[in-house]
Amino acid sequence: MNKHERLNMHTQNLANEKFSTLVKMFPNAVTEAIRGYDENGEAIIERSIDADVLSQEINTHVVAGKEERYQFTWPDKKKSVLLANSPLAATLRPCREESVDFDTTENLYIEGDNLDVLKLLRETYLNRVKMIYIDPPYNTGNDFIYEDDFAEETGEFLRRDGQFDQQGNRLISNFDSNGRFHTDWLNMIYPRLRMARDLLMDDGVMLISIDDNEVENLKKICNEVFGSSNFVDCITWNTRVPKNDNKGLGNIHQYILVYVKQSQRNRQFMMPKDGLDEISELLEKMKKQSIPIPEAEEELKKLYNKKGYDRGITLYNSLDESYQPWGKINMSWPNSNTFGPNYDVLHPVTKKPTKKPDRGWRWNQQTFSNNLDYENVIERHDGSFICGNIWFAKDENTQPSSIKYLRDVGKMLLRTIVSLKSDGGVELENIFEGKSFFSNPKPTSLIKLLIESIEEKEGIFLDFFSGSATTAHAIMRLNSEDGGNRKFIMVQIPELCDEKSEAFKAGYSNICEIGKERIRRVGIKIKEEAGLIAQNLDIGFRVLKLDSSNMKDVYYTPEEYGKQGFNLEGFMDNIKPDRTDEDLLFQVMLELGIPLSAKIKQENKEFSVNDNYLIACFERVDTTMITDIAKKQPYYAVFRDSSFINDSSLINVEQIFNTYSPHTIRRVL
C-alpha cells in the first residue's frame, strides 16, 4: 500500500468520533432529521441520534420521552458542547526570539485563546498531563470572560484564524447587570473543562480556584464533566486579607475544587506539617549549644504552645541523644467493633507483664517481638525506658507505646482549610522593581502546596489561565528544592494592557509579555540561589503562538476553488507565503502527536525530531538526500508536495524507502 498519505492539518472532529461510537453500539438509534431548508426550499437532511431510543437502550425501565429528570442546564449549553467538539484549522507557530533555551527546554509557553489551544493540544497530549491547575475569571461582574462565537457556521469556524481584535482580543466585560451574566460564564468555562479532562492521565488531577460568585455552578459543571464520583473535596483557602465587599462581613476565603480523572486510583494528597522548618532550626541551635535533653524538651514544648500546632506535631515532644523529636504511639486495637490479639508483654526491667489495652493489641505478637530489644535497654532522664522501638514507663502499670520519629511522619493529608497569606501581589512587585502589574495574583506558596500534594516529582503540569505565570514560577522553585523534573505548559490569551496601567507604562503591551518576563527573571534567580545542585534545572521555555493554519484554504477545500473556476495551477504551493519551515514542522508535530517540547535538530534542509523519530524536509529533495533520510529509518518522514519535481520523482521516493526503510510512514503536505 502506498504510505505517502496527505496530512489533515486540523484537529479531529470529536462529534464524528462519538457519533461513530454510538452507531456501533446502538444502530437502532440512528436516524435522519431535517436541519433546515436550502434556497430552493429543499429540506437539508443530516444524521441524527434518536435521544428517546438511546435513553431507552441504557435504562432498565420504560423511559417516557418528556419525563422530568435531574439535570443542570442553561441557555446555549448544547451549543457549548458543539463548540467543544468542533474541529479547528489552526496551528502553533514557534517564536525563538522570545523563548529561553529553545532547543533544550521541555517547558512551553503558549499564547492564544485557550479553547483553541486545548483543541490543538488534545491529540498530542491526550492522557499525558499529570495535573491541571487553573485560576479562571471568577465572574465578579468586573472582570473579563472569553467570548466564544456560537453564531458561526461550521465552515466559518474552520476558516477562523484565531487572531484577536484591538479591544482586548476575544475578551469581553461581563457586568452583573447583564441578563446573561451566569450563562455567558458557563458557556465559556464548560467547553474548556471538557477539553481539559481529555488531557489528564488516568491518575491525573484537576484543581480550579474560584470564589463565591460561581462555586456552586462550577461544581455542577465539574460533576458533569469529570463525574461526581471523581470529586475529591473543596479546599477553602484562608487568604488572611479581608475583602471589603460591603456585605457586613470580612470575606477572607476563596475555594479550590479538587477532582481526579479516575477515583479508583485512590490518590492521596499530602502536605508538609506546619512548623517543621522552625522546629528544625530550634533543635539545631540547641544541639550546637549542647543544651541538656530535659531542658531541650521543655524548650520544644514551649515552641509548640507558642505556635499552637495541632497534635500531628505536638505528639512528638521527646528527643533522642541526637536531638531528633519522637512521639509515643498508642498500641491499642483501633477498631471499636472488633478485638485485637491478646498476649503478655514483659517490662524490660521489672520483668512483669505490662498493662494490656482493653480491646487487645494493635500488632500481632510476632510484630511486637520484632520491635523489642531486651538486650539493649536505655533508661531516659525521666525514669522511663527505651527497648528497641518500644517505650516503657517506670514500671509495668502503664501500657507501652511504639516510638515514631517526626522525620518519618513529616507529611499529613492535605487539609481542606489552608491558611496562607495572599501576598502574590507583593511577590510580583518584588520581581518587577516594585511595580504593580496584577491586582490579585496567586501566591507561589499556594500553588507549590497544591503541586507538591500529589508527591510525584515529574510529569506535565498545565495551566491554561496562566495570568502572571505563578504556576511556572512555583514549578521551577519546587524542582530546585526537591530535585524534581516537573515540566510546565502555560497558556494565556495575549490580553492587552490598559494604556493607563503600570504594565503598559513599563513597556508591556499584553499580559503574555509580563508572564514570560517573570519566568525569565525568577528562573535566573532560582538557579543562582540553588547553586551547584540546580545546574541541570530547566528554567527555559519554548514560546508558541496560536495562528491560522499554515495551509492555504485550497488545501482544505480544493473542490470549492475548482467550482469557482480557479486555476489550480496557481495553488500548487499550498503553503501560505509568510510561513517558515519551522512553522510547518510544528504543525506536523501537532498532526502526528509528537510533544511540542521534543528535541529538534536541523542540518541543512532536514529537521530531525527526537533522534530521527520524525525527519521532515520542506525543500526540494534529490535522490541522494532521500536515500540518506531512508537509511536513517525514521518512524515518520514528511515532505511538501513541492519537494517533488514530478510524479516520477515521487515514485522514486517510494522505491527508495521500500528498499532501505519499508516501515517508515511517509506523509506529504
Question: Burial of 317 by CB count in 10 Å (0-12 exposed, 13-18 middle, 19+ buried)?
Answer: middle
Distant-in-sequence, close-in-space partners of 367: CB < 8 Å, separation ≥ 6:
none
**Nearest-angstrom CA–CA distance, 142 and 178:** 11
Rounded to whole angstroms, what are the CA distances from 573 to 194, 568, 581? 37, 10, 13
The Cα 464–Cα 138 span in angstroms is 15
pLDDT-derived band at 452, boundaries 50, 70, 90: very high
Looking at per-residue pLDDT, the higher value among 147 and 301 belongs to: 301
Strands (E), 435-578: 458-463, 485-492, 542-548
Q: Is the pLDDT of residue 14 over 90?
A: no
Q: So what's the pLDDT on residue 531?
A: 81
CA pair distance 602, 607, nearest whole angstrom: 5
The per-residue pLDDT for 297 is 97
Residues 134-148, mean pLDDT to the nearest whole number: 78
- The full 3-state SS of 175-221, as one line of letters, equals CCCCCCHHHHHHHHHHHHHHHHHHHEEEEEEEEEEECCCCHHHHHHH
pLDDT at 274: 81
SS3 content of the chain, % helix, strand, coil (to 5): 35, 25, 40
Compute φ and ψ for 655, nearest 5 degrees: -65, -40
Say which residue, 14 or 528, is predicted with more confidence.
528
Stretch among 127-131, 242-246, 348-352 having the lowest mean pLDDT: 242-246
Output the nine-digit C-alpha cell for 196.
481539559
Neighbours of 540 (CB within 10 A): 19
SS3 622: coil
Residue 354 per-residue DSSP state: P
Closest CA to 393 of 328, 326, 300, 320: 328
Beta bridge partners of 642: none
* pLDDT score, position 243: 76
Who contacts 587 (Cβ-Cβ below 8 Å, separation ≥6)?
Answer: 9, 91, 92, 549, 550
pLDDT digit string (tens) for 89-103?
899 999 999 999 999
Nine cell digits for residue 124: 498530542
Decide if 637 contacts 666 (C-beta within 8 A): yes
Instruction: Answer yes or no: is pLDDT of 13 > 80.
Output: no
Partnered with residue 490 across adjacent β-strands are 109, 463
Q: DSSP state, 344? A: -
Cα 651 to the center of its chain, rounded Å: 45
pLDDT at 397: 97
* 3 state DSSP class of 112: coil
C-alpha angle 235-237-241 in degrees, rounded to nearest 5: 165
Summarize pLDDT for 206-215 with one digit per residue, the tens. 999 999 989 9
DSSP 297: H
pLDDT band at 656 (very low <50, low <70, confident <90, very high): very high
The pLDDT of residue 159: 39
Residue 42 — very low, low, confident or very high, per pLDDT cuts 50/70/90? low
- Amino acid of residue 662: P
Choose between 269 and 640: higher pLDDT: 269
81 burial level (CB within 10 Å; 0-12, 13-18, 19+): middle
Average of per-residue pLDDT across 334-345: 94
Q: Is the pLDDT of residue 661 over 80?
A: yes
**For residue 475, what pLDDT is reported?**
97
**Residues 392-425: tens digit of each pLDDT:** 999 999 999 999 999 998 888 999 999 998 889 8
Report, as an integer, the average pLDDT of 175-185. Answer: 73
What is the model's pLDDT at position 81? 81
Rounded CA gap, 630 and 648, in Å?
Answer: 18
- CA separation for the pair 107, 540 (Å, rounded): 7
What stretch of H or E contains 601? strand 600-603
- CB–CB of 464/515 below 8 Å? no
Residue 1's pLDDT is 37
Determine the pLDDT at residue 69: 62
414-427 burial code (b ≥16 CB/10 A, e <16): bbeebebebbbbeb
**pLDDT band at residue 165 under the 50/70/90 scheme:** very low
Give the span between the Cα atoms of 40 and 284, in whole angstroms: 88
Condensed to tens digits (0 to 9), the pLDDT of residues 229-240 reads 999 999 999 998
The pLDDT value given to residue 161: 39
CA–CA distance, 400 with 378 (Å, rounded to integer): 15
| Between residues 264 and 367, the one the model is more confident about | 367
Helices (H), 206-324: 215-222, 276-288, 293-307, 311-314
Q: Is the pLDDT of residue 156 over 90?
A: no
Could you tell me the pLDDT band of residue 566, with boundaries at 50, 70 and 90? very low
Listed by start position, the domains of the chain span: 5-70, 90-272+413-546, 331-400, 576-668
Q: What is the pLDDT of residues 79-133, one digit of tens each?
A: 888 888 888 889 999 999 999 999 999 999 999 999 999 999 998 999 999 999 9
The DSSP element (H or E) to which 528 belongs, if any, is helix 511-530
Whether the pLDDT of residue 65 is over 60: the answer is: no
Say whether pLDDT at 68 is over 70.
Answer: no
User: What architecture does CATH give domain 90-272+413-546?
Assistant: 3-Layer(aba) Sandwich (3.40)
Residue pLDDT, tens place only, 590-647: 999 999 999 999 988 899 999 999 999 998 888 888 999 999 999 999 998 887 777 7
Question: Can you give the pLDDT at residue 73?
Answer: 83
The pLDDT value given to residue 97: 97
Side-chain half-sphere of 26: how many Cα atoms within 13 Å?
Answer: 17
Least confident range of 86-90, 157-161, 365-369, 607-611: 157-161
Contact, 568 vs 118, CB < 8 A? no
pLDDT-based confidence at residue 565 (cuts at 50, 70, 90):
very low
Judge whether residue 72 has pLDDT over 80.
yes
Q: Which amino acid is at 425?
A: G
Predicted confidence (pLDDT) at residue 450 exceeds the cutoff of 90: yes
Farthest-apart Cα atoms in the chain, separation: 107
- With a pLDDT cut of 90, the percent of the chain lying above it is 58
Residue 395: how many CB atoms within 10 A of its CB?
Answer: 15
Please tell me the predicted confidence (pLDDT) of residue 265.
82
pLDDT for 412 equals 87
CA distance 119 to 573: 27
Going 83 to 263 to 135 to 106, the CA torsion angle's sign is: negative
With H, G, I as helix, E, B as strand and everything else as coil, classify residue 76: coil
Tell me the mean pLDDT in the region 164-172.
Answer: 50
d(C-alpha 200, C-alpha 489), whole Å: 13
Beta-carbon contacts of 275 under 8 Å, excluding residues fewer than 6 positions away, are 303, 307, 309, 313
Highest mean pLDDT among 245-254, 458-467, 491-500, 621-630: 458-467
Of the ranges 273-277, 524-528, 537-541, which one carries the lowest mean pLDDT score?
Answer: 273-277
Is residue 384 scored above 70 in pLDDT? yes
Q: What is the mean pLDDT of residues 427-448?
A: 90
d(CA 464, CA 93): 17
